[in-house]
Amino acid sequence: MRISYYPETDSLYIDLSSTPSAESREVSEGVVLDYDVEGNVVGIDIDNASRKLELGELSLSHLPIAVQKITA
């Protein structure tokens, strides 16, 4: 999973999978879900992210990962 913030457009994209998207649907104003060919959600795009989310804090809990990579 990868979370990317783009300050020039104030958008946040969450890659849930490396599988390419085949379809996108806006599920609420400024929130778009990307789906693969099998209908699985592979990404989430959030416009005006700084108004919708608390971007200054990220909390991760109980993830089954051995390596954490954090860059700012």
Q: What is the pLDDT of residue 16?
A: 97
Q: What is the pLDDT of residue 57?
A: 84
Q: How far apart are CA 8 and CA 34, in angstroms?
A: 21
Local confidence pLDDT in tens for the 72 residues of the chain: 899 999 999 999 999 999 999 999 999 999 999 999 999 999 999 999 999 999 988 877 787 876 666 666
Cα–Cα separations (whole angstroms), residue 42 to 13, 17, 54: 11, 5, 22
Q: Find, among 64, 66, 47, the residue nearest to 7 by Cα.
A: 47
The model's pTM is: 0.84
Q: How many CB atoms lie within 10 A of CB 46?
A: 19
